[in-house]
Chains A and B, each alone.
Chain A
Amino acid sequence: MMSDPILKVENLKVHFPVDVGTFFSNKAQLKAVDGVSFELNEGETLAIVGESGCGKSTLGRAVLQLLHNTEGQVIWMGENITGYSVKAMRPLRNEMQIIFQDPLASLNPRMTIGEIIAEPLATHNPDMPKEQVKSRVREMMDIVGLLPRMINRYPHEFSGGQCQRIGIARAMILQPKVIVCDEPVSALDVSIQAQIINLLGELQKRFGLSLLFISHDLSIIRHISHRVMVLYLGNVMEIAEKDELYNSPRHPYTQALISAVPVPDPDKEAHKKRIVLKGDLPSPINPPSGCVFRTRCLYADQQCEREKPDLNTLTEASVKSTHQVACHKQAEIHRTN
């Protein structure tokens, strides 16, 4: 029996007011996240995948209440934390942490890495004796694969991969339950990406961490996640267990996304059937009516233009796990494929 989810997000919306028009300075709403619901279980990695502008980073920040959502709820271990002030959030912060894409930019260049990693402790446990802080920092450095003797060095002395390890150590020092990873390996070289992905996997196993892994890279996600949620223009297109999603994607967007990923195998590449989507992502200020994906969808018809599809759970007997798809045509597409 599954225990209660550690994090539950219900119908989350994040809209930003923006100015449009030169003369009348109309206020419009940029719908960055438009009604997203999901649950994150203990020890689980949920990947959020989508192209730039799909709202994946905004969603990650709203979950941590670093950004306030316009509508919907964020429930943290049974407690509704929606709209909590900075002060009210503070005691919860040591349980939820974030690591960022640009490892060097997220580290203060004037602080030694020892100070950087210790900073969350100073905020959350100001009374901890100095010696204990230091030993915790050293221990954490060792866990993430940094030599503890580097404790007095500055961020610029480290490579990108090492800076990401520093960011991970800083996030881990408070022993959080959840880490939001926002494109943590996108800025790293291929050979270093593998090191960081393996490190995150190890930390998860060792400490029972839950990860919300935000990425645009479907190959990496296939490696690290348990479940995958596909976002498009602030809406969930599909959510399923990893193998289910990659082996039988049901949403036309997920299908196109997976088929577009180049595979490092010349024979497979030569014979692969690739679905090439036409056009670009529409503007989130003025999203298409009905299904937001319909302007690029091969199967769209009038129903898709009129009605926004609900995120429905597949009921077929062959689908073992929970697999949800937001598409009017998915059953039809599945039959013809």
Chain B
Amino acid sequence: MSIILEVNNLNTRFDTPEGEVSAANNINFTLQKGQSLGVVGESGSGKTQIFMAIMGLLAKNGRTSGEAIFKGQNLLGLPVVELNKVRGVSLSMIFQDPMTSLNPYLKVSRQMTEVLIEHQGLDKESALERSIRMLELVGIPEARKRVHMYPHEFSGGMRQRVMIAIALLCEPDLLIADEPTTALDVTIQAQILELLHSLKEEMGMSIVMITHDLGVIAGMCDHVMVMYGGRVVETGTVHEIFNDARHPYTQGLLQSMPRIDGNHNEDLYAIPGQPPNLQALPSGCAFQPRCQYADAQCRSTQPEPAALSQHRMIACHHITVAKDLIPAMESA
């Protein structure tokens, strides 16, 4: 298998009136071709900013360092002209709210054909045909008619499909999906997830799925990366994360989720406290104020990521302790 995306020591910082804020620190991961990576974390964990940096879409006050090697080319620091040869062509991103990415003044046909004319040099007619075929592929009924509509004439689920269709027009090798179904109802979410799944299987597309919903990750992803306070705290295969979580935050997250298939007559496990403010991170490990295993070492030093295998990493001073406590926590 070949590597499609390799991220080395990526850091993202923002200059704010209150000083510099680190949104993502020392991020390292690789993604194989045809695989999907789930990135999970709470709001402010930095999960979106990593990929905004890779796409060259950071806000003006943002700065990035490190490497993001996509198909052999480092995207960070690439001039916009060069970046545009990649973005929307072999690397696409879709967002939570389709209305913020679609231009409300332009018909869908214009927004779609534009991409093909610009990137693939198609003429108007064949670009339109291709757009209609793509809308059909993502499951929009009467695509031939609806391609000439404006975004507001579509429902939320349909708009998300239009956005996916645009992202897929040039058949990208990697699709980054940032909370693609969070704003949608469950029945529509099921439709979109099924669509993404079949695209991955049929087109061999790699997918990065950024979400806070562990259920979506369980169904969609091969690997998982858990973020907290701007750092990766644990990575592993989907089975390792769901069946053998080692970081206390990952464990807490899994146990605090209400489950439709779980035990419903007891209180939920709740992680105490609040998610950290990136402008005032606690000393040492960012999770220590909420962690039941925290000790003096956790309060003073940032835990270094420890690799257990090629894809398995945990950043916790108490890996062994946490591991031993898993069965105890389950029976409690």
Contacts and interface: CB of A to CB of B under 8 A. Distances in A.
Given A190-B42, A198-B267, A264-B214, A51 B258 contact: no
Interface in A265-283: 265-270, 272, 274, 276-277, 279-281
B274 A264 contact: no
A242 interface: yes
A258 interface: yes
A258 to B, nearest CB: 7
B185 A195 contact: no
Interface residues of A, number: 47
Contacts of B272: 195
B268 A197 contact: yes
B190 A264 contact: no
A280 B275 CA distance: 36
A262 B213 contact: yes
B218 A194 contact: no
Given A223-B264, A263-B261, A266-B238, A189 B187 contact: no
B69 interface: no
A189 B212 contact: yes
A262 B216 contact: yes
B186 interface: yes
B212 A190 contact: yes
Contact of B257 (A219, A260, A266, A267): A219
Given A216-B185, A260-B190, A262-B218, A194 B271 contact: yes
B201 to A, nearest CB: 13
Contact of A263 (B155, B239, B259): B259
B215 interface: yes
A195 B42 contact: no
Provide the main secondary structure of the chain A interface. Answer: helix
Interface string B174-200: 000000000001111111011000000
B24 to A, nearest CB: 18
B260 interface: yes
Interface in B201-230: 212-219
Interface string A216-250: 11111011000000000000000000110010000
A277 B191 CA distance: 8
A265 B261 CA distance: 10
B185 A264 contact: no
Contacts of A268: 218, 261
B168 interface: no
Contacts of A159: 274-275
Interface stretch (B25-33, B95-103, B248-256, B299-307): B248-256
A234 to B, nearest CB: 16
A264 B187 contact: no
Contact of B215 (A51, A256, A261): A261
B269 interface: yes
A257 B187 contact: yes
B150 interface: no
A191 interface: yes
Contact of A194 (B155, B158, B189, B268): B268
Interface string A161-203: 1100000000000000000000000000111111101100100
A260 B215 contact: no
Contact of A190 (B157, B190, B193, B253): B253
A260 B218 CA distance: 13
A289 interface: no
A322 interface: no
Contact of A269 (B219, B252, B254, B275): B219
Contacts of A193: 256, 258
B51 interface: no
A263 B193 CA distance: 13
B270 A280 contact: no
Contacts of B275: 159, 189, 191-192
Given A191-B270, A266-B239, A280-B157, A219 B258 contact: yes
A321 interface: no
A277 B258 contact: no
Nearest to B42: A189
A276 B193 CA distance: 10
Nearest to B186: A260
A257 B213 CA distance: 17
B43 interface: yes
B257 A190 contact: yes
29 contacts: A51-B187, A162-B274, A189-B212, A192-B274, A193-B256, A193-B258, A216-B186, A218-B260, A219-B257, A219-B259, A219-B260, A222-B259, A222-B260, A223-B258, A223-B268, A260-B187, A261-B186, A261-B260, A262-B189, A262-B193, A263-B215, A264-B214, A264-B218, A264-B254, A264-B259, A272-B219, A274-B194, A276-B190, A280-B188
| 8 tightest Cβ-Cβ pairs between the two chains A and B | A262-B215, A51-B185, A269-B219, A260-B190, A194-B270, A264-B214, A194-B256, A189-B42
Given A194-B257, A194-B270, A264-B215, 12 more contacts: A51-B186, A51-B187, A190-B214, A193-B256, A194-B256, A198-B267, A219-B257, A222-B258, A222-B259, A266-B218, A269-B219, A277-B191
